[in-house]
């Protein structure tokens, strides 16, 4: 590469960088908090930050994400610690247990969990659960991974 081409590329890079900085300054007043304002209220959970962002932008979450956000409140902290929402499909809630023992326990609790889920407002109606076992764990009733 000749010296002239290198200088042209450096000039182009400087122009692009300058434009990006100007664009960033212009966006700063458009709803994005300056970096120093992020830490004023202390640390926040990802769920809280995401909820605030959604509210600020006027966005809504699909039913699966709404259910995942409310999961611990609906089923309780003990069950939610061992069960992950995978999907909601036509009234079937698909969850993955972190162990075969928890998968079996949740299958026994299915009627109570479905009743709790259907009492929660704003969620898609759930008819049944499909409980997946952890990867590498053989399923006993065909509902594993």
Most confident of 10-19, 20-29, 52-61: 10-19
Q: How confident is the model at residue 54 (pLDDT cuts 50, 70, 90)?
A: low
pLDDT, residue 135, reads: 76
pLDDT, residue 142, reads: 45
Is 77's pLDDT higher than 60? Answer: yes
Is 133's pLDDT higher than 80? Answer: yes
Q: What is the DSSP annotation of 8-41?
A: HHHHHHHHHHHHHHHHHHHHHTTTPPPHHHHTTT
Hey, what are 121's tokens? 């407002």
User: For the residues 126-134, what does the mean pLDDT come to?
Assistant: 89
């Amino acid at each position: 590469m000749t010296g002239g081409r290198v200088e042209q590329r450096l000039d182009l890079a400087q122009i692009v960088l300058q434009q990006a900085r100007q664009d960033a300054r212009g966006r700063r007043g458009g709803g994005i908090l300056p970096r120093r304002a992020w830490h004023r209220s202390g640390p926040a959970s990802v769920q809280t930050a995401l909820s605030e962002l959604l509210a600020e932008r006027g966005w809504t979450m699909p039913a699966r994400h709404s259910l995942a956000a409310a999961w611990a409140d609906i089923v309780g902290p003990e069950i939610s610690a061992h069960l992950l929402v995978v999907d909601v499909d036509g009234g079937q809630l698909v969850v993955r247990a972190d162990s075969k023992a928890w998968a079996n326990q949740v299958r026994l609790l299915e009627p109570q969990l479905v009743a709790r889920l259907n009492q929660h407002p704003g969620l898609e109606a759930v008819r049944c659960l499909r409980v997946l076992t952890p990867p590498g764990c053989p399923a006993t009733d065909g509902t594993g991974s």
